[in-house]
Amino acid sequence: MPRVSVAAGARLHFGFQNLSLAHERLYGALGVGIDDPAVEVIAEPAEDVSVEMDGHGAEPRSHGVADAPTPDTPTPDALADIRRYASDACSLLDVPGVSIDVRTTIPRHVGLGSGTQLALATVAAVARSYDGEPAVRDHAPRLGRGGRSGVGVAAFEDGGFVLDVGHPTSRFTTHRPETGEWTVPAVAARHPIPDDWRFLLVLPDAEPGRNGDDEDRSIRAAVERADPDVADRIAGIVTRRVLPAIVEGRVDAFGEAVADVGRLNGAWYADEQGGVYRPPVGGIVASLSDAPAIYGAGQSSWGPAVYGVTDATHAAAALEAGEAALEAAGVDGTVRIVAGRNQGARIEARRNR
């Protein structure tokens, strides 16, 4: 049986198309795959489940923290997540066990989709180590993933810009079905991210974003109050601005459009997160929005990750704008420039050591 390496990039989540129960379909997410940070795991068959750390990620530029550890380095919590996903994957696939070496992980609960990418990388690695097919879209619901947004699963499969169809409101209402009882939303539109586009990623040192039961409660509360007129406005932005911009490769128009989608989503979440953006994201987004090198900025998912849309020509200036935004907000953190990812997870066999 082979040793199998699986590497998958993070994703940015720009928001949902609809949270109102007044419309026929709920959610409908849009986002992009990015190549950094990333998760990489190496798996081989075993008699039981074991997980260990082996290697670490590259150091990003940091602001205000001397000798700051890279946020890609696996943490004990991340290792515990992978151990749980590995156990679940072995049960799903009816195999005895797996030994996993964890090379890098995506920071947990910061808005970059770490949970989905960890879960899918793990189940794909276990399946391939036993010469099976990854079938991540089929397995995702049983691992608790894809219950609202399908962007993370779609980014793992093929990367790019993704718009998904959402879920029927009649099934999801304010409560999603039990784990494993949903279908990951199908991809309505996928387009490659132009090669010269870049994304500024700002990770302020702040409390983790909503996750687990807290996230479920916040989403339910937002759905119960959501104004359907906001969804109508977002639909116009997506069809008349976001999609034309990605197809035509107009980075400035794309940045402005997804930033507007994010602001409108923030109106739905304002009571849950303390404003259109959660603290301290609002100040960082405001600073980036004034920077000439940034075409649009916003909060990815529940944050605190902040993105800025830029291009290769303006990457250095965008990086400086990110550092200045952290300083203006009075918080420490890290900044990096990342490219879009137009391919799915890399899955390959490796020679035994």
Q: pTM, whole model, 2 decimals? A: 0.91
Domain with residue 317: its CATH number is 3.30.70.890
Domain with residue 136: its CATH number is 3.30.230.10
Nearest to 58 by CA among 45, 33, 40, 85: 40
Do 209 and 144 belong to one domain?
Answer: no
Do 121 and 147 belong to one domain?
Answer: yes
End-to-end, the C-alpha distance of the chain in Å comes to 13
Do 221 and 319 belong to one domain?
Answer: yes
Residue 125 is predicted with a pLDDT of: 97
**97 domain-assigned:** yes
**247 domain-assigned:** yes
**25 domain-assigned:** yes
Nearest to 271 by CA among 320, 233, 220, 236: 220
Give the range of the structural domain holding residue 59, as residue numbers without chain letter.
Answer: 3-191
Do 118 and 266 belong to one domain?
Answer: no
Give Cα 299 to chain centroid, integer Å: 11
Do 66 and 124 belong to one domain?
Answer: yes
Per-residue pLDDT reduced to its tens digit, 45-89: 999 999 998 644 333 443 433 333 345 677 888 889 999 999 999
Do 122 and 19 belong to one domain?
Answer: yes
Residue 273 has pLDDT above 60, yes or no: yes
Residue 315 has pLDDT above 80, yes or no: yes
Nearest to 338 by CA among 309, 296, 300: 309
Per-residue pLDDT reduced to its tens digit, 279-306: 999 999 999 999 999 999 999 999 999 9
Query: How far apart are alpha carbons 256 and 264 in whole angstroms?
Result: 13
147, 175, 191 - which closes a domain: 191
Ranges assigned E (strand) in the chain = 3-18, 25-45, 49-53, 61-63, 98-104, 161-164, 167-168, 187-191, 197-204, 296-299, 306-311, 333-339, 346-350
Nearest-10 crossing angle of helices 76-93, 114-129: 50
Do 231 and 320 belong to one domain?
Answer: yes
Do 213 and 114 belong to one domain?
Answer: no
Do 103 and 173 belong to one domain?
Answer: yes
Residue 58 is predicted with a pLDDT of: 37
Q: What is the number of structural domains in the chain?
A: 2
Do 60 and 80 belong to one domain?
Answer: yes
Do 225 and 171 belong to one domain?
Answer: no
**207 domain-assigned:** yes
Report CA-CA distances (Å) from 283 to 65, 105, 252, 330, 331. Answer: 20, 28, 21, 9, 10
Quickly count: other Cβ atoms within 10 Å of residue 48's Cβ.
10
Do 126 and 143 belong to one domain?
Answer: yes
153, 171, 191 - which closes a domain: 191
Residue 176 has pLDDT above 70, yes or no: no
DSSP state of 241: I
